[in-house]
Structure 1
Amino acid sequence: MADDAPGPVTEPGVVFLVAVPGLEAPLADEATRTGFLGVRQVPGGVEVMGGLAEAVRANRVLRCAVRVLWRVAEFRAMHLAQLDKRARKVGWGEWLRADVPVRVEASCHRSKIYHDKAAVQRIAGAITAAGIPVAADGAVVVKARIEDDLCTVSLDTSGEPLHRRGHKTFVGKAPLRETMAAGFLWQMGFDGTQAVVDPMCGSGTIVLEAAEMAMGLVPGRSREFAFAQMVGGGSEGPCPSRSPAYLGKDEGARFFGFDRDDGAIRGARGNAGRAGVDALCRFERQAVSDLMPPEGLAPGIVLTNPPYGARIGERKLLFAVYGALGATLRARFAGWAVGIITSDRGLAQATGLRLEAVGPVDHSGTKVWLWRGTV
């Protein structure tokens, strides 16, 4: 293709929702439930139709998304000179502000342009030529992916990863991220009406996510996003606290977390208060062998992310923990759905429960599975 060929084809109609690897399906289901159009599951995430307004809404309301990328341009580039020329035809000023520095990132795969840093230099030069400052600590990130000589340019509308909700300040050891907790809850069939028990809750992530989902609380209500630093990014107004679909089912505690670590329980209670869900949650210091089903509630979901020896705990000693959990559930939790998140098949089998493995899911570099079944 000649260098003087027509300029880039802009594509404001595609928003890419980055998923936790292995949780693309729950994210696609969530996007469909929340009214996004053109939902298409692809490796690494989900594509939906829309522009900046949809990107804003995705950041605010989606619980499974890791971040939201707005695709703004796409063009062929066979060499660096062509990349430079075509990048200068992109309408950067339509989306980026002259008073907000941006950072440029690039990745090259199976392309004639193979040097990431050289690609960054060319794209950064084109942005600078458009009157927009470029800095290593820019508030907005421009992401260019060159694959099979096709350059796709996206704007990261999220900023900080979306699992950082903004109201959870206490974090325990090897915590489960909120985006993963939401995905696993949906894989367990949670719809906001069931009771949820986590026997080894740590900082309370699973319990807190369940309570927020039940109350219709918007996950992005307590934080800021990169889209606010883009042209038109502030036009959508303040983030609502609750989803319009909220049905008012938030009376009485039905989300319970237990842990042997008193510090974890205190931290989880504080997190619940900051999240505004403390009326629905109960956190108590308790051993697994003392676990009892909540009084007055129908069988619900037991979901937990126990140690599995990869980062916390010695594997040999954990067999007794998993065995005690399984024995307690078999004795007292008839009719309850059970989900155990672990990387270790042997530990899951040590519960003595009939569980199927769903996954794998990438948990910070470790492959884990959701082992689920019914007591």
Structure 2
Amino acid sequence: MTETRPFEIFLATIPGLETVLCDEVRLKGFKRPVAVPGGVTILGGWPEVWRANLWIRGASRVLARIDSFRVTHLAQLDQRARQVPWAKILRPDVPFRVEADCTTSRIYHEGAAVERITRAIHETLGAAEAKEGGVLVRARIERDICTISVDTSGVLLHRRGHKAAVNRAPIRETMASLFLRQCGYTGNEPVVDPMCGSGTFLLEAAEIAARLNPGRSRHFAFEELATFDPDAWAQMRAVKSERTPSVRFYGSDRDAGAIAMSRTNLEQAGVADYVTLQQATISELQPPEGPPGLVIANPPYGTRIGDKKALIPLYRAFGQTLTTRFSGWRVGIVTTETALAHATGLPFLPTTAPVPHGGLRVTLYHTAPLL
């Protein structure tokens, strides 16, 4: 791998959760992270790109911004795109594809921009265009400034490679990790999920506590780039930070199928030994022995699963159970409906703006330790 000057690296995330991701990036030791709309920027080289893909839980993808220039018409874009040092980044034997996004610019036709950049890469490098898959080159033309990036992740980063089974309306691992962080979770306290579904909150909480890298089991697009050094990557992946958690994690669900799914996924991730699962209803929920921690749940919303009014008794019972039995515990609930959250009767802290999730907008409602 040849040394390059530091360049901008963009870690994309769920809009509305940029500052939460920025906190994670800073704590993981990346220099000068800045929260920007849609994600976080850092400066670094290719090792930082690899490390971000391997380490960061809340990012959905990592883009290496390789060039930026002013363009006002397509002929200029065609000429300037040929000056990008494609041979230093892409491989001629690996197919590529281009996506473009044009906003408030004199170049407004995204298809025409894609065509010019695709032709420039093919004619200067010799690589073939891929209709699907391949290395993704992204062009953003905003206010006549074209920024060229390479998607170094490939498949979105919430696909850790550990979930063999999912339930209806699953929460993504990236979102779950950021909501855990928003609730103040750092890996040193027990976590209870009484509506665990396919086990996403339990997976993320146990992996954080065990210091397991989220990207440890998967392939990344940067492994297909000319900048990739297999030996250096193998060395990076071989560094072990794993530890045995000092606390346990507890999941329950009234559906036996959900418990089976959670168990399968936890086993595949290698954290099943740290988690206790049981089939149980909300009214049967009891705090585990030991110190208090965090109760977090992604209950049915009514928007997609079930009827909203029919869910009020579930939320009310949930709140009553927590209020009477979980003194000292913090609570986090993810839902689309303010009325359902308030049906719990729990003393929620001020919320942040709703964030997009599967075509809906959800809010994390969370509390200080219950009295």
Q: Distance in 2 between matches of 1:195 and 1:333?
A: 13
Q: Which residue, 162, 168, 171 being the options, matches 1:167? A: 162
- One-letter code of the match for 1:351? T
- The answer to whether the aligner puts 1:218 opposite 2:213 as a matched pair is yes
- The answer to whether the aligner puts 1:177 opposite 2:172 as a matched pair is yes
Per-residue Cα deviation, 1:112-143 (whole angstroms, up to 9, x for no partner): 00000000000001000112222212421000
Q: Which residue, 275, 278, 298 being the options, matches 2:291? A: 298
- One-letter code of the match for 2:237? P
Q: Which residue, 197, 205, 209 being the options, matches 2:200? A: 205
Return closer, same or farther for 1:359/1:255 CA change in 2, 3 Å cut-off: farther
- One-letter code of the match for 1:172? N
Q: Paired residue for 1:237?
A: 233
Q: How does 1:223-372 map to 2 (within 5 A)?
A: 223-235=218-230, 236-238=232-234, 240=237, 244=241, 246=242, 248-250=243-245, 254-295=248-289, 297-356=290-349, 357-372=351-366
Q: Paired residue for 1:188?
A: 183
- One-letter code of the match for 1:38? R
Shift of 1:243: 5.6
- One-letter code of the match for 1:72? I
Shift of 1:146: 0.4
Per-residue Cα deviation, 1:269-302 (whole angstroms, up to 9, x for no partner): 011111000111111110001000012x201000
**Contact 2:88–2:227 (Cα < 8 Å) also in 1:** no
Q: Distance in 2 between matches of 1:21 and 1:234?
A: 33
Structure 1 segments unaligned to the other structure (5+ residues): 1-9
- The answer to whether the aligner puts 1:35 opposite 2:29 as a matched pair is yes
Q: Distance in 2 between matches of 1:45 and 1:213?
A: 21
Q: Which residue, 111, 127, 133 being the options, matches 2:128? A: 133
- The answer to whether the aligner puts 1:20 opposite 2:17 as a matched pair is no
- One-letter code of the match for 2:209? A
Give the root-mean-square deviation of aligned CA atoms.
Answer: 1.5
Q: Which has the higher helix share?
A: 2
SS at match of 1:237: helix
Q: Which residue, 52, 55, 59 being the options, matches 1:61? A: 55
- One-letter code of the match for 2:345? G
SS at match of 1:358: coil
Q: Paired residue for 2:82?
A: 88
Deviating more after overlay: 188-197 vs 127-136: 127-136
- One-letter code of the match for 1:186? R
Shift of 1:14: 0.5
Q: Paired residue for 2:98?
A: 104
Q: Distance in 1 between matches of 2:44 and 2:359?
A: 32
**Contact 1:258–1:283 (Cα < 8 Å) also in 2:** yes
Return closer, same or farther for 1:41/1:369 CA change in 2, 3 Å cut-off: same
**Contact 1:93–1:132 (Cα < 8 Å) also in 2:** no
**Contact 1:217–1:241 (Cα < 8 Å) also in 2:** no
- One-letter code of the match for 2:260? R
**Contact 1:128–1:134 (Cα < 8 Å) also in 2:** yes
Q: Distance in 2 between matches of 1:279 and 1:240?
A: 23
Per-residue Cα deviation, 1:222-241 (whole angstroms, up to 9, x for no partner): 11000000013243323637
Q: Paired residue for 1:142?
A: 137
Q: Distance in 2 between matches of 1:34 and 1:71?
A: 21
Q: Distance in 1 between matches of 2:197 and 2:239?
A: 26
Shift of 1:53: 1.4
SS at match of 1:105: strand
Shift of 1:242: 6.7
- One-letter code of the match for 2:317? A
Structure 2 segments unaligned to the other structure (5+ residues): none
Q: Distance in 1 between matches of 2:140 and 2:57?
A: 25
Q: Paired residue for 1:71?
A: 65
Return closer, same or farther for 1:53/1:342 CA change in 2, 3 Å cut-off: same
**Contact 1:18–1:66 (Cα < 8 Å) also in 2:** yes
Q: Paired residue for 2:150?
A: 155
Q: Distance in 2 between matches of 1:20 and 1:11?
A: 29
- One-letter code of the match for 2:160? R
**Contact 2:190–2:293 (Cα < 8 Å) also in 1:** yes
Return closer, same or farther for 1:234/1:311 CA change in 2, 3 Å cut-off: farther
